[in-house]
Chain A
Amino acid sequence: MLEEGRISKRQFFWTIVVIIITMSMFRLPHLVLWRARQDFWLAFLMAIVLDIVVGCFLFVLGRRYRGMTIYGYSERVLGKLLGKLAAAAYVLLFFEMAALETRNFAEAFLLVMPETPIWVFATILVALAAYAVSSGLEVIARAAELVGPIVSLLATAVPSLTSNRIRPANLLPLLQTPPLAIIETGLVVTSFFGVCVVMGVLMAYVNEPSKALKVKAGAVVISGVLMMYGYTTAVALFGEEAFSSLINTHYNVARMISVRGFFEHVEVMILPLWTGAAFLAISVFYYCTSIGVAQIIGLKTLRYVVPSVGIAVAARAFLGFRSGPHMDRYVTGTLVWYALAVEACLTLLLLVVSTIRQRSDESGR
């Protein structure tokens, strides 16, 4: 067994909330707002529903193959070779997500410390994550329990503190975006929210797996609501600018905080607080990648996997991407569709094949 620890359902909940919020806070907003404009909330609703459906797939599979991770049962379902390939697809997704998150956050930090080279942030974040991963899932889950409430508070407080400057009329007009654009953005959001396919790995370690679906659905809804709140505030603050020019939306919202004209530039303080969340999201993906690699190769410990995956993630984060537009194109053009294919289609495939197998087993008996 690669992992001895067990996590509680509360820890599972916070883990998912943290990774969703962190993922959708830094790269997603302008991808959504530029296309869906005032109707971004429709995209979010769509993403929440789709993700709960994917959650159902994973839940059924997780219950069917109790105590096994998605890597384990994909081999059981698809056979050894195909199973390993499927597992590799998931591993690749988690790896990309870890690298993307590292990159996003390191880029965000460049706003505060522009002269610092990006590899510094990437390396340190990955090193922290490596420390957490090598300490085991329990430590990550406990960290999620600490960071989760802080992140949720942050995601609520930052928009709330700008409430004296919002102009709610900026949210109008509603329902003017073409449906196709909304669906497309909805899929982008879904793929970002879909990172909670980590459920496929973590559910094996939850001590009450029967509650996992309820917990995951709750987490998706809560983080969806929090994100919608943040986006709503951004639109109400910036109006047309949010739809056409702003990137780093959350950071820009934080820039609008001015407490009695005395404390300004609070964003400089808020961004470091996000470090905790970013580190946690990275370590969850990092952990899932490491476990997957170990399982595919058939290793008994993570001892050699952790440093090598870490170096790969850090290298991918600061060598693999170029500028913002490059990343935007990569994310919307490639990653999103790959993520959707893996998160939804591959999972659905697993479910279908597994059901067929089970049926045939039963009839064969």
Chain B
Amino acid sequence: MIMFGVVWGKGKGNVKRLMLIALASAILTLLMIATPGCWSARELDKRAIVVAVGIDKAKEPGKLEVSYQIIKPAEVGAPRPARGGEGQGRGVWVLSTTGDSLFDAAWKMSNVAGRRPFWGHLRLILFSEALAREGLGPFLDVLARNPMPRRLAWLAVARGCLARSILEGYSELEKVPAETIMGQLEEYGQNSTSLAQTLHGFLLEMENPGQSPAASAVELVSKGGPSAPNDGESGDEGSEDVERGRAGAGGTKLVPMVRGAAVFKRDRLVGWLDEEETRGLLWVTNRVRGASIVVDPLAGGRGKVTLEIVRARSRIRPEIKGGVPHVTVEISASANLAEQATASSLYTIEHLHELERELASAIENEVRMVVTRAQRDLRTDVFGFGLTFYRKHPRQWKAMAETWEDAYFPHVEVNLDVNTRLDVSGLIGPALKRRMTGTGW
């Protein structure tokens, strides 16, 4: 407006121009006073900050129940501790709405919360197992299309319970329970036994040819450790308590825990990986950051040696021999000697080499386990072997592309080439010269 004043007033005498500018500014000021907070403006106290969202099937068929973890700023952000001894984890409000689609349900949230939901800080997206089994594709669209949710938000599947129960889970340390889950995901590299998947990574793996995606897996455990053996494929075996996320018998609180991985075929969940299998997956896809691996060179549990992986790299090399796809996975890992339970000194070159061999076979074991599982049981290429063929042998790939996962992948011969390297480190070299009476355990 001022601009037009300047443009049109130009050359008509300076005083006139000045008056035009003044007039335009006056109108602008009036506009500002009349419409405080135009179109896209919304005050912070009119927004409900959603940090995590959980998506379940609703009771009525064909509907979704979407749950949200909303931050209560007054509890979380206040410099002084909140009044009353409500304890930790109460900095959020978990509520749900139902709707025909994700967007539809989310759009109804303000009816419940009384504030417009704000998705800009959405950092954790949880899907229930049941939904994941039917295919996530339809729900991911809105997450990729809408500019508000972060593309780097974590994407996880609730194992053996509702997504809502996970959001209602307990956290001892954080006022916002989702922070605990995100912390677990961020720190996955400590032991590399869980997969940390982002929305971006999932979409990438889902869209790329010759690959099926995997997502993080979250389950509820009673405080202190896993509540019940939960190895079953279906996840339906969990007790009713766990299913509903209620506190277990004796008042134990249920804590969300990130463990293993959820494996998909295209966009459908087909199975869960346990901790070793997950690490196997991470070895192949070059995502191991660190791990502790226990080897037993003397066999029989008499002298466990714990190795700490400090660096790991891997590469998939596709080859087509005689029209048949082969894959070589090259893994190189460096480890430190972290702990030993024997009195015999391992501080010799020979011992080190032996330990390196042991480590290599341990890694190989883990990889073999998961590769066999994926090829035999799950029949899904979570490693992206097909993708490497698409990249390196695009012509041959064209013939295989359509039927890769069912016809070719299960029969791909996977060669492992594991290279390990051990650096003894720490403050002592040989074992302590003590009278070792313990026998290990």
Chain A residues in the interface with B (C-beta under 8 A): 111-117, 120, 127-128, 130-131, 134, 165, 167, 169-170, 172-173, 176, 238-241, 244-245, 251-252, 255-256, 258, 261, 264-265, 303, 306-307
Contact = CB atoms under 8 A, between A and B. Distances in A.
17 contacts: A113-B40, A114-B147, A115-B40, A127-B1, A127-B4, A127-B7, A134-B7, A172-B392, A173-B391, A173-B392, A173-B394, A176-B394, A240-B204, A240-B208, A241-B203, A252-B151, A306-B7
Interface of B: 1, 3-4, 6-8, 10-11, 38-40, 120, 144, 147, 150-152, 186, 200, 203-204, 207-209, 390-392, 394
Contact of B204 (A116, A172, A241, A252): A241
B40 A241 contact: no
B204 A111 contact: no
B394 A127 contact: no
A134 B203 contact: no
B214 to A, nearest CB: 16
A116 B10 contact: no
Given A130-B4, A172-B391, A114 B40 contact: yes
Contact of A128 (B3, B151, B208): B3
Given A116-B39, A240-B208, A255 B391 contact: no
Contact of A130 (B7, B208, B394): B7
A240 B384 CA distance: 13
Contact of B151 (A111, A117, A127, A255): A255
B39 A265 contact: no
A209 B441 CA distance: 86
Given A241-B204, A265-B150, A131 B40 contact: no
A240 B151 CA distance: 16
Given A173-B390, A173-B392, 9 more contacts: A116-B38, A127-B4, A128-B3, A130-B3, A130-B4, A167-B204, A238-B204, A241-B203, A264-B150
Contacts of A245: 144, 207
A269 B415 CA distance: 48
Given A172-B392, A173-B394, A307 B39 contact: no
Nearest to B390: A173
Name the residue in A238, A244, A306 with the highest tally of chain B Cβ atoms < 10 Å from its Cβ: A238
A112 B147 contact: yes
Nearest to B209: A240
A134 B10 contact: yes
Contact of A256 (B186, B200, B392): B200
User: Lowest 10 CB-CB distances: which A-B pairs, in order?
Assistant: A113-B40, A173-B394, A172-B391, A116-B39, A127-B3, A240-B207, A131-B3, A115-B39, A115-B40, A111-B147
Contacts of B151: 252, 255-256
Contacts of B200: 165, 256
B152 A256 contact: yes
B357 to A, nearest CB: 31
A116 B39 CA distance: 5
B392 A239 contact: no
A127 B2 CA distance: 9
A265 B8 CA distance: 39
Nearest to B397: A173
Nearest to A252: B151
Contacts of B11: 303
A114 B10 CA distance: 35
Contact of B39 (A113, A176, A251): A113
A324 B39 CA distance: 22
A214 B376 CA distance: 63
Contacts of A256: 151-152, 200
A239 B207 contact: yes
A113 B207 CA distance: 29
A160 to B, nearest CB: 17
Nearest to A303: B11
A167 B120 CA distance: 26
B45 to A, nearest CB: 18
Contact of B152 (A112, A113, A131, A258): A258
Name the residue in A170, A176, A240, A303 with the highest tally of chain B Cβ atoms < 10 Å from its Cβ: A240
A128 B394 CA distance: 50
A241 B213 CA distance: 14
Contacts of B7: 127, 130-131, 134, 306-307
Contacts of B208: 170, 239-240
Contacts of B6: 131, 134
Nearest to B200: A256
B398 to A, nearest CB: 9
Nearest to B150: A264
Contacts of A116: 38-40
A139 to B, nearest CB: 12
Contact of B10 (A120, A173, A261, A303): A303
B120 A265 contact: yes
B207 A244 contact: yes
Contacts of A170: 208
A45 B390 CA distance: 25
A109 to B, nearest CB: 10
A255 B152 CA distance: 8
A307 B150 CA distance: 42
Contacts of B8: 307
A127 B38 CA distance: 20
A103 B263 CA distance: 43
A111 B391 CA distance: 34
A306 B7 CA distance: 8
Nearest to A251: B147
A111 B186 CA distance: 29
B255 to A, nearest CB: 23
A273 B10 CA distance: 29
Nearest to B4: A127
Contacts of A128: 3
Nearest to B10: A134
Contacts of B392: 172-173
A287 B189 CA distance: 56
Contacts of A306: 7
A115 B1 CA distance: 21
Contacts of B203: 241
A264 B207 contact: no
A79 to B, nearest CB: 35
A53 B11 CA distance: 42
Contacts of A134: 6-7, 10
B251 to A, nearest CB: 35
A244 B141 CA distance: 13
Contact of B391 (A169, A303, A307): A169
A107 B431 CA distance: 68
B318 to A, nearest CB: 11
Nearest to A116: B39
Contacts of A258: 152
Nearest to B152: A258
B209 to A, nearest CB: 6
